[in-house]
Amino acid sequence: MKCDPNLYRATPPSLAVKPRLIRQLFVPPLIVLLMIGLGYVGYRVSEHYGIRTLSENGERQLELHARTVESEISKYTYLPSLLELESSVSALLKEPDAEHRQTVNDYLEGLNRRSRSRAIYVLDTTGRVLATSNWRDADSYLGEDLSFRAYFQDAVRGLPGRFYGIGSTSGEPGYYLAHGLEEHGKIIGVAVIKVRLEALEERWQRARLEAFVSDENGIIILSSDPARRLKSVRPLTPEIKERLARSLQYYWWPLNELQPLARERLAEGVETLTFPANTELAKDGDSVSYLAQTRRLSDTPWHFTLLTPLQDLRREAANQGILVAVAFALVAFLLIAWNERRKVIATRLAAREALQEANSQLERRIAERTADLRASNERLKDQIRERRQAEETLRHAQDELVQAGKLAAIGQMSTSIAHELNQPLAALRTLSGNTVRFLERGELDTASTNLRTINDLIDRMGRITASLRAFARRGDDKGESSLGKAIDAALQVLGSRVETLHLEVHRDFDDVQLAIDQTRLEQILVNLIGNALDAMQSQPLPELWLEGDFVEGKYRLRVRDNGHGIEPAARKHLFEPFFTTKPGEQGLGLGLTLSASLAAAASGHLGVEHPGSGGTAFVLTLPRVPPAKAEPI
């Protein structure tokens, strides 16, 4: 057997969440996300433009300060070459005796004082210091072998010796400028001047300027922040470290990289650097960001870097970002509020429209119903009119039928009436002839007896015609009648047949007043008793029972005979007009129909029973006249 998969399919989980709920669930986080996103974008844009403005301003600053550094350095450039002109120096180089040395020492001491340099000294071509401005000091260079110094090596070859380094004797950093002293195109010695550039640093610090100068090795030689001094701005491989250590340029100073926390290159010579904060107030994890602008210093392989703090700019950008986020939140809030209001208005409008629609529908329906009702009212009126007409026609036809029935009954009875009247007439002729003869003979007693008999006969004849006339007369629907009188009248009308049959009549009824016209009641009874007489034609001992009883304000009379009864096939047709089983001209088939109509017209009923003992019983039920109204019998 195949199963319908649909029968066992689980009902889908409650995925059908209302769209409104989805909106409520997702819109707030979405707005928050957009706020954060837009705030971040605002921050970045503001930062970008801020940095652009800052770098434009910084460009001028960079130029200014770089020129200052350049002029500070170039100030001493030509000083060593001046010694070439000094005869005592060339004399010393030619003849390095004590006298010449002292002369040059004194000269150099004076020159050094005037030029505010750190030291000025003269070396022979082997790199040994022959005379120096600091000859008086304990750590004087006098006699030292400085041939390993790069500036000496360059100068002795006729190249300009430029060198920043830490003094191997004093351990003091300085800028060394060396010049090969020539005579007749031949280098006979080297003049060196050592200057301190710390004045620049002090100037930067006073001006609250953050800057540094890095040398050809990328080592910071001058810095407004002492912590950055002698740090490398470039990555230091072990080989480079080894080379620099061997050159003793930085003496034994440990060289490290200047490791920014973050570095972002913006353009050639422009980048952002983030360093850990090193102020006293700074907490762990605090950092300082700078816009670093770098420019090469002319006549040297050095670079000057200007650092502009980004703290204020970042704060400003953060404010801008917050402003954007708040503005967006405000716009979003206004949009949501506007949308909600729009929805409320739309709902109200829809409700109003629905109400109007329902109203107009109701009105339409009422109009339709009213029209329907009016139409059905008209139809009802028409029907009532038609019914009334039909009733009228029916009543008329009924009257006609009653009349026709009566006439038919008269026709039927005419033979017996004629027989009934002929007999007394014949008797009257005989009696009247006899009476004449008795009078002629003077037999007055016999004559008067005959005359009395004649009288009786005439009375009988009068009664017959009277009842016939009463039967033929049109009746009244709202009449009253006496049951006893009606039964007597009916039996009288049928008197001859009753007598012929030797009918035994059992009377067991009350003489009640019934609400039916007397003539009509008699007519019904004549019909019923007449039919009973017909049915009992071949009955040797014909009997008729007239039994009455009271039923719910009405009176019921049962007219029962012991005749031949009614065939079952004929029973259902009894009250149909013109249904008859009587042969020839004997039956019209109107008697029961008329009788039932007359009973019904008087709010009564005529029914039939078929007793098991044989015969037929017709049951006539008629309303009674209330006893107060009943006329005394």
Pair 406, 471: CB distance under 8 Å: yes
538 CB contacts (<8 Å, ≥6 apart)? 564
Binding of residue 592 to ligand ADP (CB under 6 A): yes
Binding of residue 587 to ligand ADP (CB under 6 A): yes
Residue from 31, 111, 209, 566 binding ligand ADP (CB under 6 A): 566
Binding of residue 77 to ligand ADP (CB under 6 A): no
Binding of residue 581 to ligand ADP (CB under 6 A): yes
Nearer to ligand ADP, 80 or 563 (CB): 563
Query: Helices (DSSP H) in 141-273: which residue ranges?
Result: 150-156, 198-206, 238-247
How many residues of this chain interact with ligand ADP, rule: CB under 6 A?
A: 21
577 CB contacts (<8 Å, ≥6 apart)? 401, 589, 590, 593
Q: Structure tokens of 82?
A: 């001046």
Nearer to ligand ADP, 180 or 563 (CB): 563
Alpha-carbon gap, residue 170 to 141, rounded angstroms: 9
To ligand ADP, the closest distance from the beta carbon of 375 in angstroms equals 45
Largest CA distance in the chain: 244
**Best CA proximity match to 34, nearest among 337, 334, 340, 329:** 329
To ligand ADP, the closest distance from the beta carbon of 548 in angstroms equals 18
Residue from 516, 524, 561, 596 binding ligand ADP (CB under 6 A): 561
Q: Please state at what angle helix 444-472 crosses helix 518-535, rounded to 10 degrees.
A: 100
Binding of residue 606 to ligand ADP (CB under 6 A): no
Binding of residue 232 to ligand ADP (CB under 6 A): no
Burial string for 203-221 (b: 16+ CB within 10 Å, else e) reads: bbeeeeebbbbbbebbbbb
Binding of residue 531 to ligand ADP (CB under 6 A): yes
- CA triple 152-156-159, angle to 5 deg: 90
Environment class of residue 440 by beta-carbon count within 10 Å: exposed (0-12), middle (13-18) or buried (19+)? exposed
84 CB contacts (<8 Å, ≥6 apart)? 90, 179, 181, 182, 191
To ligand ADP, the closest distance from the beta carbon of 554 in angstroms equals 22
Pair 517, 525: CB distance under 8 Å: no
Pair 542, 504: CB distance under 8 Å: yes
Contact region with ligand ADP (CB under 6 A), list: 118-126, 177-185, 466-474, 531-539: 531-539
Binding of residue 494 to ligand ADP (CB under 6 A): no
Alpha-carbon gap, residue 597 to 398, rounded angstroms: 8
Binding of residue 211 to ligand ADP (CB under 6 A): no
Binding of residue 588 to ligand ADP (CB under 6 A): yes
What's the N-to-C CA distance of the chain in angstroms?
A: 91
Binding of residue 441 to ligand ADP (CB under 6 A): no
Residue 550: other Cβ atoms inside 10 A: 11
Contact region with ligand ADP (CB under 6 A), list: 36-44, 84-92, 414-422, 574-582: 574-582
Binding of residue 526 to ligand ADP (CB under 6 A): no
To ligand ADP, the closest distance from the beta carbon of 476 in angstroms equals 23
To ligand ADP, the closest distance from the beta carbon of 406 in angstroms equals 13
**Could you say which residues in the range 110-129 bind ligand ADP, by CB under 6 A?**
none
Contact region with ligand ADP (CB under 6 A), list: 40-48, 101-109, 517-525, 581-589: 581-589
Nearer to ligand ADP, 588 or 598 (CB): 588
Comparing every residue's Cβ against ligand ADP, the nearest one is: 591
Binding of residue 563 to ligand ADP (CB under 6 A): yes
To ligand ADP, the closest distance from the beta carbon of 432 in angstroms equals 38
Quickly list DSSP for 454-478.
HHHHHHHHHHHHHHHHHHHS---TT
Residue from 217, 616, 622, 624 binding ligand ADP (CB under 6 A): 616
Binding of residue 582 to ligand ADP (CB under 6 A): yes
| Residues within the interface to ligand ADP (CB under 6 A) | 527, 531-532, 535, 561, 563, 565-566, 574, 579-582, 587-593, 616
